[in-house]
Amino acid sequence: MRVIAFYSFFEIKDLNLIKDQINNFFQNLEVKGSILIGPEGLNGTIAVNSDKEKKVNFFLMQLGVFQENIKISNFDGKRVFNKFKIKLKKEIVTSDFELNIKDIEGGQFINSKEWDDFMNRDDVVIIDTRNDYEFKIGHFKNAINPNIKTFKEFKKYIENEKSNLQNKKVAIYCTGGIRCEKAGPLMQKHGIDTYQLKGGILKYFEETSAPSWDGECFVFDYRVAVNKELQLGESQLCYGCNMPLTKEDRQSHHYKEGFSCADCYDQLSEKRKRSLADKREHWKRIL
C-alpha cells in the first residue's frame, strides 16, 4: 500500500468539473482517503495499491499538481482511511489569511538538502507553523512552538510577534508544505524575511537522514505518526480526547487504553465514558 500526500496552489474556476474528473478516474481503482478542491487548488492524502502509484501520480500532475508537491510513503497495515471522499472548500487549507494565488506564488523556499545548514545559521530563527499537539509529537531542534490550537490562530501569533521577527531571517516548516505556503506570504506581508521548507517534514524525511529532527511526525490518518524512515511510528491516539500520545505519555497513571490520558482523565463525563466502553466492546467483538 502506498500513501500519497499532495497539494498545489493554482486557480480552479469550475470545482465540479474537477470533482467529476477525479471521481471518474478513481471509480475503478481501490482508493481511500480524502481530496479537497477549492478555487485556489488541490489538497489530499490517499492510499492506493503500490502498482497504481505511477498511474495516480501522472493523473494528479495532469490536473495541475506539481511533481515536487507529491510525497510517497509505505504502509503495510490493514487500514489508513475508512473511505474515499471529495470535498469542495473555500480554501484547501483553512486560514482566513486573505491571500491570493499571486501572494502565494511569491514564497521563498529552502530545499530539504540545504535545510539543516540554513536552519543552523546564527541569524536564522525557526518557527513550527503546526498545531501544538503536532509539535509535541516531534519537531526540529531549537524550533519555536507558537502554541496554537488551529492554523487560523497563526495569523494572530504573527501579528503579536512581528516586531521581534522583522530584523531576522525566519525558517518555517509544516508536515507537507501546504500550511507554509500560506504562512510564508502572510509573514512577508508583515515585513518578515521568511523561508519555507520545500515539501515539508515528509520531503525532509524522504531526502535526508533527518539529523535535526527530534521525535516523530504527526499525520492526519490512522497511522497517527511516522518516523524518520517514513514508517509507522509509536504514537497513538487517546480515544477520550483524540490527542496523539507518545510512548512516554502512555506511562502516565492517568492513561487508560481506549479511555483517557493525562490531559482528559478528569474531564470525561459519565456519558462519554459509557460511550467509549461500548465502542471498545464493539471492536473486541469485531476483531
Question: Is the same domain home to 137 and 209?
Answer: yes
Evaluated on CA atoms 153, 159, 164, 166, the torsion sign reads positive
Count: domains in the chain: 3
Which of 200, 203, 283 shows the shortest CA–CA distance to 239? 283
- The answer to whether residues 203 and 269 belong to one domain is no
Residues 59, 118: Cα–Cα separation, whole Å: 34
Please state, in angstroms and rounded to a whole number, the distance separating the CA atoms of residues 112 and 83. Answer: 32
pTM for the model stands at 0.86
The pLDDT assigned to 269 comes to 82
Buried b / exposed e along 130-141 (16+ C-beta atoms within 10 A): bbeebbbbbbbe
- Look at residue 213 and tell me if it is in a domain: yes
> Which amino acid is located at 97 in the chain?
F
Grid cell of 204 as nine digits: 525532509
pLDDT for 206 equals 92
Biggest CA pair distance of the chain:
60
Residues with Cβ within 8 Å of residue 201, at least 6 apart in sequence: 173, 174, 175, 176, 213, 217
In a domain, 229, yes or no: no
Residues 78, 185 within the same domain: no
Q: What is the pLDDT of residue 270?
A: 81
Same domain, 213 and 119: yes
Helices (H), 27-147: 53-63, 101-105, 112-119, 132-137
Count the residues in the chain.
Answer: 287
Q: Consecutive 10-residue runs of the chain (287 residues): their mean pLDDT? A: 92 96 93 96 94 95 94 74 93 94 94 96 96 96 96 97 95 96 97 97 95 95 91 90 91 88 86 71 49
172, 188, 217 — which closes off a domain? 217
User: Pseudo-torsion of CA 50, 55, 59, 62, nearest 10°?
Assistant: 130
Query: How many whole angstroms separate alpha carbon 173 and alpha carbon 179?
Result: 8
Amino acid present at 265: Y
In a domain, 251, yes or no: yes
User: Closest Cα partner for 47 from 62, 68, 33, 27?
Assistant: 33
pLDDT of residue 79: 66
Give the cell for residue 146: 507558537
In this predicted structure, what is the pLDDT of residue 268? 80
In a domain, 93, yes or no: no
C-alpha 123, offset from chain centre: 27
Question: CATH number, domain at 158?
Answer: 3.40.250.10
Residue 256 lies in domain: 237-286
| Confidence (pLDDT) at 286 | 43
Pairing of strands 109-110, 193-197: parallel
Domain final residue, candidates 88, 122, 143: 88
Q: Are residues 207 and 123 in the same domain?
A: yes
User: Does the annotation count 261 as an active-site position?
Assistant: no
> Strand locations in 84-216, DSSP E?
84-88, 109-110, 124-128, 138-140, 169-173, 193-197, 213-215
Considering the domain architecture, whether residues 144 and 196 belong to the same structural domain is answered as yes
Residue 222, in any domain of the structure: no
Question: Do 183 and 137 belong together in one domain?
Answer: yes
